[in-house]
Structure 1
């Protein structure tokens, strides 16, 4: 085999490899974790302050999994009489399985998420609520069995 055929072979293998890489890249989905990612980035300092507020509380967020689903308990702040907010369940592998659970003063001590709402795997859970005019925020990674 002469050197001309070897160069031609290398060029053909290179072109086939590049075609394969372009085909694979075009089939990938590029979902953003949040649709309004850039707008939320501007409010990042507010989230830092809300996380600091939560770290000052003596209690922590508790998540327990049982056969019925998840039981979530949030820390108490001045009785949580005016508490409201939301818990966002984000599924990194499938955006269609994301959902939001509302937080009210009535359910802040024991929030139940039914097993039917959950799929086995990893969730990024965002807790964001306000009680007595003070904001609280925390993100946790949780693996549902």
Structure 2
């Protein structure tokens, strides 16, 4: 084998390597980059202060499950929303409105909610203060 054939074979091998890397890159799964990253960063302080408000006011909601109902007891009458997020399937995520009325508890009907682990995010207002609370719950 002479030098010309070796150089051509080396260039062909390098070109095949580059081509295979291009094909691999385009077939790789999509990047899970959060496109709202900067907006969430700007609102972080607001969310953090609402989470601290829960601790400062000892306003953590008490969550109990009775048959097909989830009962949430607040320290004061509250209105807001709760997000049910399923770690294994984003399509199962749900949003419910909360309103305890004059009382201190609210109920959520669990019919149609799959059993298993759920991450709950509570956002509510009580006594003109905003609160944010995260809790992981296992629905039976």
Same-fold call, TM > 0.5?
yes
Post-superposition CA distance 1:89-127 (Å, at most 9, x none)? 111111111111112351772222222132111111001
Gaps of 5+ in 2: 1-23
Mapping of residues 78-93 of structure 1, within 5 Å: 80=77, 83-93=78-88
Distance 1:28 1:39, change over 3 A: closer
Larger Rg: 2
| 2:98 matches 1:103 | yes
Mapping of residues 1-145 of structure 1, within 5 Å: 36=36, 38-76=38-76, 80=77, 83-106=78-101, 109-145=104-140
Post-superposition CA distance 1:10-29 (Å, at most 9, x none)? xxxxxxxxxxxx7xx85799
Following superposition, the deviation at residue 42 of structure 1 comes to 2.2
Q: What RMSD, in angstroms, separates the aligned Cα atoms of the two structures?
A: 3.1
Post-superposition CA distance 1:24-79 (Å, at most 9, x none)? x85799597xx855533321111111111111224531111121221111221xxx
TM-score, reference length from structure 2:
0.67
CA contact (8 A) 2:80 2:98 kept: yes
Distance 1:49 1:61, change over 3 A: same
TM-score, reference length from structure 1:
0.65
Greater length-normalized contact order (CA 8 Å, ≥ 6 residues apart): 1
Q: Matched residue of 1:117: which SS? A: coil
Aligned length: 119
CA contact (8 A) 2:116 2:139 kept: yes
Q: Matched residue of 1:92: which SS? A: coil
